Structure 1
Amino acid sequence: MTEWVVLDIEGTLSATDQVLVTLYDYARPRLGPWIDEHGDDPAVREAVAQVRELSGVAGGTDELVAVLHGWMDADRKVTPLKTLQGLIWQRGYAEGDLVAEFFPDVVPALRKWHAEGVRLAVFSSGSVAGQVAFFAHTTDGDLTPLFEHHFDTANAGPKREASSYLKIASVLGAEDPGTITFYSDVPAELHAAAEAGWRTVGVAREGEPHGGDDFAPHRTAAAL
């Protein structure tokens, strides 16, 4: 029996273009100003230090931004980039510049699970701050009350490693990992979750980058 449903966002709940186009385009010109204007923020200081460590860049903001833009162009799931993006998106949602949209089947499924007593959590490469802002400002209103936990690569680990899913299961208090079902559009993430003992569902949405991938041996659906 499923006690927890853990959900990916990009390509699973929301169109990939909303992240790679809308959100990325919003964050791109704001990264430099954000770093310069929030230098006293511990989260920003740590992210900048991590960018320097990972890239070897010792220069100023312009060089840091060049590294961040390169990671964005390659869609790298790098924690300091996700931290900075999440902070920028958080303000964008709060100020009404951004509104999250979902595939038509998503919100009814979330509300149905919640009403039936299934507990919900999110595991996304986007930062927890960005996730919370995303679900708080949607075309269907504030959906944050539906979720009990948010996980990202900073507090859980890489999405393609089984150890991340074992850590999440521990935080959820799930003694039997088979009571957790993970929904994702990326087969490699499903493989890692299954290795950790989770149930898995591949979400193969037509027109999405992974829609035509081979999801075997995972159960596959076209919607939630």
Structure 2
Amino acid sequence: MSYCCEFIRRFKTICTVLLCIIITKLSDFQPFAYAGGLYDSQTDLVRFGERDYDAYSGRWMAKDPIGFRSKSTNIYLYTISDPINWIDPIGLSELVYDRSSGQLEIWPDNGMGPPQIFPAGNNAINPTGDPLTPESYGPAPNGTYPMGDIIETGLDENSSFGTAFIPIILPANACGEQRTGIGLHAGRANRGGVNHPTRGCIRTNEAALRALRHDPPSRITIRE
């Protein structure tokens, strides 16, 4: 009987010690790190399957698998090395321009909100011009369209286009003609800003362009 009691006492002691070790080292048994990656305590890297992330430098340790198709020239970058204040600049944000509210919404690629919202206008010099006819100078057409790469103009905020221009790729009309030169830009900050007339482009402000440099858009929806 005494042998059994001693065995039980020692067994309880061992279990207590093991439990203390488990509680003390509990963090080692929690592998999930920021954004759901798997933390590797041996390398201090966070594994995301395709590549590893270094939280100390704020950068990926391997190239972006989609290369320059992300519209970023830095294929190691993650959130401008500042994940507290920025989102992952993978170039898949989507825009919504709402005419009635005069607002441009920038939605991140995962569709989760709330979006960033900026003032915008589409005050075309020929309001009745056909939206799909070349050189009509009419407003941009309603619908959803792909967008091209950001083009830096080298100009200032008071110029006709502002500091950047992002093309909106419109379809051909019934005659097979395609209207080009339509896009999103800023400019004329000293002459009415977003309300200053354009030849059909959507005009926003420089704050919106700065946001889009961090997360370039893939398409835009234009609605009433």
Q: TM bucket by the smaller chain?
A: under 0.3
The one of the two structures with greater contact order (alpha-carbon pairs below 8 A, sep at least 6) is 1
Q: So what's the TM-score if we normalise by structure 2?
A: 0.25
Instruction: Answer 1 or 2: which has greater helix percent.
Output: 1
Q: So what's the TM-score if we normalise by structure 1?
A: 0.25
